[in-house]
Structures are given as C-alpha cells and as structure tokens.
Amino acid sequence: MGKFVGKRLLMMIPVVLGISFIVFSILSLTPGDPVQLILGADTEEAVLEAKRVELGLNDPFLVRYLKYIMGVLHGDLGTSYRTGLPVIQEIALRIPKTMVIAFGGIGLSVVFGVPLGLASAIKQYSFIDYFARTLALLLTAIPAFWLGMMLLLKIVLQMKLLPATGANSWKNFVLPVFTLAASATATLTRTTRSSMLEVIRQDYILTARSKGVPENRIIWKHMIKNGILPVVTIVGMNIGVQIGGTVVIENVFAIPGMGAMIINAVRVKDIPMTVSCIILVATVIGIMNLIVDILYAFIDPRIKSQYFGDKQRKHAYKRKEEREEEE
C-alpha cells in the first residue's frame, strides 16, 4: 500500500512540473508586458523599467522559470507582481472558500445523484425514471452561472431568504454549493443509472432473485457493490471540472475565493500568482484522483490484490505482462 501511494505521488511531480512550465511559457512568451498592465500604459518608461528590474523581468525566460520553480520546490510560491505580497499568503486566505464550494458541490451531487440514478435504474420506465432522466438532461444543459443568477434572483432578491453578498456565514455558501452541484448531479445520475442497468441484466442477479434473496439485500450486496466503480470514476473526474466551475460561480455570488484571484491575476499576467494557483489546483486534483484509486481497492477485491502485495497474484500478473511484451 505504502509503496503504491509513494509511487503515485512521485509520478505527480513530473506532471506538476510540466503544467507549471506550460502555463509559465503561455503567459511569458505571448505579447503583453505585466509591468505595463499593472502600472498602466501611460506610466513613465523609467518607472516601468525600475519595476521590471525589481521583479526580475529582464532575465531570459528560462532563467526566470528556473528561479521560480526552484523556489516552488523549496516551498516558496513567489511574490505576486500585482500586490507585492507573498503568493502563499493570499492563497491561504482564499483557498478555504473555494474548497468549501468545490467539495460541498461534489458531496451534494453524490447525495442527490447516486440515489436518484439507482432508483431510476431499479424502476426503469416508471415515473421516477422519466423524472430523473428529464432532470439530468436539463441540468447538463443549464449553464451553471445562469442557474446561479436565477437562484440569486428568486431566493435572495425576491424572497429574501438568504443574505445577498459576503462570505462570512455558511448562509453565503448555500446557493453556490447548490449551483455547482447541479451539473455534477446530472452526470452522476446518468452514470449510476446506466451502470446499474448493466448490472441488473447480469445472471447473478437473476440467480440471487431465484434463490429468494430479499430485494433489499440484492440491491445493497449485489447491485451497488458491482455497479459503483464507474460512479466512483466519474466522481473523481468531476473534481477537476468542479474546481474549474467555481471560478465562474464565485464571480456570480461575489465570493472572494481563488476564482476571482485567478481572473484578476491572469488579466495583468501576474505569473507567480497564476502559475502557483494552477499548480495547487493540479496537486489537489492529483491527490483526489489518488484517493479515488485507493477507494477502488476497497470496493473491488480484484483491484486490491493488484495494488497491495498479494504475492501470488502479483507474480501471475507480472508473468502475464511479460508474455504480452514478448508478443
């Protein structure tokens, strides 16, 4: 187990380095001078030049990248061009809000989507099935930010049930979380439904029914256990989409999270800020995907034996790989 996790964590390093290099070069090698964007176009050339020297922008591209990435490897995310403050400080202030929304959205979508998909598969062609499918179709088509605006309009502005802006109480996070959960709920409902329908058609369900296993036990022990893997995969894949989605949703609800920070940073080409944010997001996504992979092992004993040193199994697996390579 430890070996597997360690290997996966090591594999994340080149990916994160690659991401940082791509984003750093996209922002550095395109026209547009950060200093001019920050100080304004009609600032005197001498002032601009002094700022450039201060930020080290006159160094060649590769030198700047290496300096930055060496800092990151030593735990220093650099200094924001715009505010002059350490990037880590601002991120630490804002990241909790974004994560509350993102993970709240994921949690809520699991709570709604999985039971709905399950019910719609068990009672195929019933009212609940049509309801779930229609809802899923609509929720994938509605843009999240528009749904947010509509909720804001009805619940906050017209019915006055929740406070309008700010990010100090849990009440401010209710609508963003619901908004973000909407499209993920739709994907989860659809995945759960199709995966469960596939399981229902299997012979072992028929066998279980014919030997008189209670329906509840069939659902819990046979269907969910066999059909949940694709659902877990989709939850894992949704994490990235959700974090990307918060950027727009924070804008709708005026929540000062990472989304607003990334947009402000990217506008003035604040490279340390932008690249650090994206490195962080990618790391969070990578770790979550690792957790999903570990979850697989607890759900499916066949995968577990591949990961966690069942020696005989491993040996057989290795032999199979060797045979395949020979072919």
The size of the chain, in residues, is 327
- Minimum separation from the CB atom of position 309 to other proteins (A): 26
Total residues in contact with other proteins, by rule CB under 8 A: 48
Q: Which of 167, 253, 269, 272 binds other proteins (CB under 8 A)?
A: 269
The stretch among 146-154, 172-180, 208-216, 315-323 that binds other proteins (CB under 8 A) is: 146-154
| Residue 240 binds to other proteins (criterion: CB under 8 A) | yes
| Residue 291 binds to other proteins (criterion: CB under 8 A) | no
- Minimum separation from the CB atom of position 317 to other proteins (A): 20
| Residue 244 binds to other proteins (criterion: CB under 8 A) | yes
Q: Which of 162, 266, 295, 303 binds other proteins (CB under 8 A)?
A: 266
- Minimum separation from the CB atom of position 83 to other proteins (A): 17
Residue with smaller CB distance to other proteins, 7 or 311 = 7
- Minimum separation from the CB atom of position 23 to other proteins (A): 6
Interacting residues with other proteins (CB under 8 A):
14-16, 18-19, 22-23, 26-27, 30, 32, 137-138, 140-146, 149-150, 153, 157, 193-194, 197-198, 240-241, 243-245, 247-248, 251-252, 262-263, 266-267, 269, 274, 278, 281-282, 285-286
